A = this chain, B = another copy of it.
Amino acid sequence: MPRETAAQAVSDIFEHAPWIGAQAVARGPSPTVAALHDAMMTTLRGAPAEQQIAFIRGHPELGSKVKRVDITTASQAEQGSLGLDRLSDAEFAHFQKINAAYRERFGIPFIICVRRHTRDSILRQFERRLRNTPEQEREAAIQEIGLITRLRLSAKIDGPGKPKTEGRLSTHVLDTTTGRPAAKVPIALYEVGASARGLLMETITNVDGRTDAPLMSETPLRIGAYQLEFDIAGHFNGKARMFDRIPIRFSIAEAEAHYHVPLLVTPWSYTTYRGS
């Protein structure tokens, strides 16, 4: 790719800061997409502190403009995907309050890669990061910008060596009374927590006791709390049993990891674990 085309392609990866892409490209061609992103982050980290802060300040505040009519920037579209544009009045007030506390303390907007978090997780991060020193928080903001731009770059440029930005959630249901997979078991996946989205998807196990497609994949997993529910009543239909619908509540802490959550089940017992 000619240097000029490359520079133009990456000019809007970093918010209002085409200089980051331009300087990174000027250093020479990158053999992989991941290396190109590394070069841009090196450029950002090499900039003077004042320029970094000015760049950080150029980001919109989280949830602050969701009532505006025009959603024009990439950040706004991404925030929309989480439902931050559907906040209740109380939630909106809470967001504004911690946003204000944050700006008061750090003088910059709170930046987080929203596509890697549930709303509850964002709130927890907000509260946790309010305890940072200003230096720690500048570093935290830059790290989040790294995660945001890595996703943007990955979506925009195709090429070898793309950075790993996708997580995966999968399951497997085994009936240990027969040593066979349990087929046709309905499964529901919920996001849980104070401001959670609720039911995310429903599916059913195939003849191998797995689902035809992963429960979540192709994007980062949102760090947060979830509940799988396995409707096992039909599988053990007609048998005395203790379990009809088995809930498994679990946390996802790594957005780009594979979480395999199997269920070994009889009418009177079950086991779950993080598999691989």
Contact = CB atoms under 8 A, between A and B. Distances in A.
Given A242-B179, A247-B247, A249-B247, A269 B264 contact: yes
B272 A270 contact: yes
B267 A177 contact: yes
The A contact surface, by secondary structure, is: strand
A251 B247 contact: no
A25 interface: no
A274 B242 contact: yes
Contact of A251 (B172, B176, B209, B242): B242
B267 A273 contact: no
A241 interface: yes
Contacts of A244: 225, 249, 251
Given A269-B273, A273-B268, A275-B174, A251 B241 contact: yes
A246 to B, nearest CB: 7
A266 interface: yes
Contacts of A246: 249
B274 A181 contact: no
A266 B176 contact: yes
Contacts of A72: none
B225 A268 contact: no
Interface of A: 172, 174, 176-181, 208-209, 225, 227, 240-247, 249-251, 253, 259, 264, 266-276
Given A177-B267, A270-B272, 12 more contacts: A172-B276, A174-B273, A174-B276, A176-B269, A179-B240, A179-B242, A208-B276, A209-B276, A242-B259, A243-B249, A264-B271, A271-B271
